[in-house]
Amino acid sequence: MIKIEEKELIEIAKYAGVIINEDQLKIVDRGCPHLPFGLIKGMAGIYIFELNGVCLKIGKAWEKSDARFRSQHYSPKRSRSNLAKSILNDPDMKNYGLNDDNIGDWIKNKTRRIDIFIDSKLGVPVLNLLEAYLQCKFKPKYEGFKSQK
């Protein structure tokens, strides 16, 4: 199960010489099932999807990319690359009876979502740093990580 604490992300940024105040960072565990929400005004976001303890996807959206943050990952037709499309193309997921019409509801009902909000004044490099850290830590299935033996 994915566990993230604000102080962990603040510490990672500190290693890069960036100071993040507690009021500039907010973690919201939407749980499972979950409802997607949009970005908080003045903040960028990182989203994490987890299924049965496996990290599926970690991505980011800048403050003006609310659709990417809120809804694109629930429909395979919403963008070139998204969680719905990855699941539908995954041979391991064929037994779930998923298709273009039911994948969005399945994601909402079966996956846990965690949203991390970052003050946009901190800049794109800080958003990129935290996303990359989380991807390295949790190795999302649909981000190209290969298992290490």
The domain that contains 128 carries what CATH number? 3.40.1440
**Tokens 């033996």 sit on residue:** 149
Give the domain extent around 64: 6-72+112-143
Note whether residue 117 is domain-resident. yes
For the chain, the domain total comes to 1
Q: Tens-of-pLDDT digits for all 149 residues of the chain? A: 999 999 999 999 999 999 999 999 999 999 999 999 999 999 999 999 999 999 999 999 999 899 889 888 999 888 888 999 999 999 999 999 999 999 999 999 999 999 999 999 999 999 999 999 999 999 999 987 665 44
Note whether residue 134 is domain-resident. yes
Of the candidates 49, 66, 79, 68, the residue with the CA atom closest to the CA atom of residue 141 = 49
Note whether residue 82 is domain-resident. no
In this structure, are residues 84 and 74 in contact, taking their beta carbons and an 8 Å threshold?
A: yes
